[in-house]
């Protein structure tokens, strides 16, 4: 029997024995290094009589051991992150219908476990970002990728380029209100994430997806290239075609680009990425690099090369969407694959290029864990371009090591779900599509390979997810209660 935990732990042995009633509260005895994590558990579970001992042990960096028995709870970990993840597991056990005596040894499969939130198509306030961090950290994800810029808006104030927030942030898709984060807002997001052992990876998308940049710096951006794809998307979804110098509020892609021959482009890239690096702890900056359909191949290679070198000059490691594998990149640049579970159009070749250059890959297959896809044909929110609606079962039945031929387990840095916001205006909209499919991505990122043990099956997953329904309803009312799951 698998305990009702999501993501599934690496090893869990359920004992036919009495267990403490964790819902009655806990009493913490913690190694001083883990006192803060102990206090977090007290706050989460309430004060009471069940004894919990937290001590240092020999475990992987984010790994832990957890023993729940009649005489109390013991957590062992080498780091505060390990204690935090043990605490997430303990809280899920406490929220289960009945106490469970269990011994767990657990560690993540991949080091990078992410959720991407697009705040450019629709701007979302700090409080909504906090809510996404809460849902993600509960599922043991450790990275928040913020898509901060796109054709529809620039969402971060920079002191070196104040015109970007002043002139390029005013609207969202469908003409909805825009907005931007101040430096203080961004610092609050970073601190909130760090408290939950999540890093922030900011994305400034270049050379494409830069129409909004042209509102502030028209000399840096080429005139829109209106191809068949943009016309088709506009006809299907509504809105107007892009016009240079005017805010863009439709959802077409691929028409915008920085100008490779603009004298100020290199200074722009240096200013933006240098300030972004100064604002952002952690090793990574994301430079985008996707869907520059109106950019010539030579200009694309030149601009991606220059952007990646601007990132590397800050001391950070660049991350780029897989198309950037066609360009010269600093050795070790990380690629993010957003193609399909069965690769098309040479997307897998572009991903393999990162590995050949000493980098690794983050997997975000669009037809599995692009959470902005509709979860049913009649769903009121979401899109369908990634092989039609993506139900919960399809979001779960895949394994990272099986997506791209020639990319081994060691070549994979991690897994990241993506939530684009063309149709998502509010926090309720975000949470409606975030859950339960975020749990599929979390399990792909944390747990052993799909099909490798009884708990890593669709049948087990749907039962375990069902047990999270009450907690999700409390924390994210209106989340997507898929009929595929036998909700408690």
Same domain, 49 and 122: no
Q: What is the pLDDT of residue 96?
A: 85
Provide the 3-class DSSP secondary structure of residue 33.
helix
Q: Which two tokens stand for residue 29?
A: 């005895």
Global confidence as pTM: 0.97
Confirm whether 107 is a catalytic residue: no
Q: What's residue 100's pLDDT? A: 86
Write down the pLDDT at residue 42: 84
CATH number for the domain including 467?
3.20.20.80
Do 67 and 74 touch, CB atoms closer than 8 A? yes
Residue 217 DSSP SS3: coil
In a domain, 265, yes or no: yes
Mark 231-262 as b/e (b = at least 16 C-beta within 10 Å).
eebbeeeebeebeeeebbbbbbbbbbbbbbeb
Distance CA 257, CA 295 (A): 6
Shared domain check, 102 and 171: no
Q: What are the φ/ψ torsions at residue 116 (nearest 5 degrees)?
A: -100, 130
- Rg of the chain on CA atoms, in Å: 23
Q: Hey, how many other C-beta atoms are within 10 angstroms of the C-beta on 444?
A: 28
Based on the domain organization, do 313 and 337 belong to the same domain? yes
Domain check: are 40 and 80 in the same one? yes
Q: Is residue 5 part of a domain?
A: no
- Beta strand 143-147 pairing with 199-206: parallel
Please write the tens of the pLDDT for every residue from 329-356: 999 999 999 999 999 999 999 999 999 9
- CA 368 vs. chain centroid, Å, equals 14
Whether residues 165 and 27 fall in one domain: no
Same domain, 249 and 343: yes
> Is 436 within 8 Å of 472 (Cβ atoms)?
yes
The answer to whether residue 6 is domain-embedded is no
Residue 488: what pLDDT?
Answer: 79
Of 59, 80, 106, the domain-final residue: 106
User: What is the residue whose two structure tokens read 């329904």?
Assistant: 469
In a domain, 488, yes or no: no
Domain ranges, residue 22: 11-106
436 lies in a domain? Answer: yes
Residue among 443, 438, 449 at smallest CA distance from 409: 449
In a domain, 485, yes or no: no
Dihedral, CA of residue 263, residue 269, residue 275 and residue 276, to nearest 10 = 160
CA distance 168 to 221: 13
CATH number at residue 86: 3.30.379.10
Identify whether residues 120 and 102 lie together within a single domain.
no
H-assigned helices in 375-414: 392-396
Q: Is residue 161 part of a domain?
A: yes
List of the chain residues with pLDDT < 50: none
Could you tell me if 92 and 125 lie in one domain? no
- DSSP secondary structure letters along 256-267: --B-TT-TTHHH
- The predicted structure's pLDDT at residue 20: 84
Question: E strand or H helix at 242, and its extent?
Answer: none
What is the per-residue pLDDT across 410-457, written as a single tens digit (0 to 9) for each? 999 999 999 999 999 999 999 999 999 999 999 999 999 999 999 999
CB 257 within 8 A of CB 208: yes
Q: Please report the beta strands in 393-484, taking only residues with DSSP state E, as ranges in sequence order.
A: 412-419
Among 106, 137, 170, identify where a domain stops. 106
The answer to whether residues 269 and 346 belong to one domain is yes
Last residue of a domain, one of 88, 106, 124: 106
For residues 316 and 382, membership in a common domain is answered with yes
SS3 312: helix
DSSP code string of 55-107: EE-S--TT-EEEEEETTEEEEEESSHHHHHHHHHHHHHHHHSSS--EEEEEE-
Across 126-249, the runs of DSSP E, i.e. the strands, are 143-147, 149-150, 153-154, 199-206
227 shares a domain with 82: no
Beta bridge mates, 144:
115, 200
Both 158 and 131 in one domain: the answer is: yes
Residue 116 lies in a domain: yes
Of the residues 76, 107, 291, 422, only one is catalytic, namely 291
The total domain count for the chain is 2
pLDDT computed for residue 3 by the predictor:
83
Reduced to 3 states, what is the DSSP secondary structure of residue 168? helix
Distance CA 171, CA 217 (A): 17
Tokens for 265? 């482009």
Nearest partner of 145 among 366, 450, 415, judged by Cα: 415
């Amino acid at each position: 029997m698998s305990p009702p935990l999501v993501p599934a732990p690496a090893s869990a042995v359920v004992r036919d024995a009495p267990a403490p009633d964790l819902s009655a509260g806990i009493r913490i005895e913690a190694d001083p290094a883990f006192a803060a994590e102990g206090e977090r558990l007290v706050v989460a579970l309430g004060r009471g009589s069940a004894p919990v001992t937290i001590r240092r042990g020999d475990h992987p960096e984010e790994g832990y051991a957890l023993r729940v028995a009649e005489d109390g709870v013991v957590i062992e970990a080498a780091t505060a992150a390990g204690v935090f993840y043990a605490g997430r597991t303990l809280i899920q056990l406490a929220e289960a219908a009945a106490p469970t005596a269990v011994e767990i040894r657990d560690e993540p499969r991949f080091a990078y476990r992410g959720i991407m939130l697009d705040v450019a198509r629709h701007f979302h306030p700090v409080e909504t970002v906090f809510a996404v961090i809460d849902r993600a950290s509960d599922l043991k994800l450790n990275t928040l990728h913020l898509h901060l810029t796109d054709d529809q808006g620039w969402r971060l104030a920079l002191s070196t380029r104040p015109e970007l927030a002043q002139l390029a942030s005013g609207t969202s898709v469908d003409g909805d209100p825009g907005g931007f984060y101040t430096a203080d807002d961004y610092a609050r997001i970073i601190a909130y994430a760090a408290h939950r052992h999540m890093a922030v990876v900011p994305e400034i998308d270049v050379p494409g997806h830069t129409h909004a940049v042209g509102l502030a710096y028209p000399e840096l951006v080429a005139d829109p290239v209106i191809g068949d794809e943009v016309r088709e998307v506009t006809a299907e979804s509504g809105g107007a075609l892009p016009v240079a110098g005017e805010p863009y509020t439709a959802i077409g892609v691929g028409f915008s680009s920085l100008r490779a021959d603009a004298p100020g482009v290199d200074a722009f890239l240096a200013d933006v990425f240098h300030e972004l690096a100064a604002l952002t702890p952690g090793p990574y900056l994301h430079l985008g690099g996707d869907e520059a359909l109106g950019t010539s191949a030579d200009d694309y290679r030149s601009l991606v090369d220059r952007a990646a070198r601007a990132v590397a000059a800050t001391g950070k490691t660049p991350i780029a969407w897989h198309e950037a594998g066609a360009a010269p990149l600093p050795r070790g640049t990380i690629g993010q694959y957003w193609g399909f579970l069965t690769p098309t159009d040479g997307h897998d070749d572009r991903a393999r290029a990162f590995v050949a250059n000493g980098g690794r890959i983050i997997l975000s297959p669009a037809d599995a864990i692009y959470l902005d896809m509709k979860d049913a044909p009649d769903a009121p929110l979401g899109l369908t371009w990634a092989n039609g609606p993506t139900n919960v079962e399809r979001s779960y039945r895949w394994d990272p090591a099986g997506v791209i031929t020639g990319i081994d387990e060691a070549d994979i840095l991690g897994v990241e779900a993506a939530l684009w916001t063309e149709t998502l205006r509010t926090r309720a909209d975000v949470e409606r599509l975030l859950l339960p499919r975020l749990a599929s991505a979390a399990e792909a990122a944390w747990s052993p390979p799909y099909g490798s043990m009884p708990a890593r099956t669709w049948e087990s997953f749907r039962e375990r997810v069902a047990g999270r329904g009450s907690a999700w309803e409390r924390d994210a009312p209106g989340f997507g209660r898929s009929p595929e799951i036998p909700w408690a």
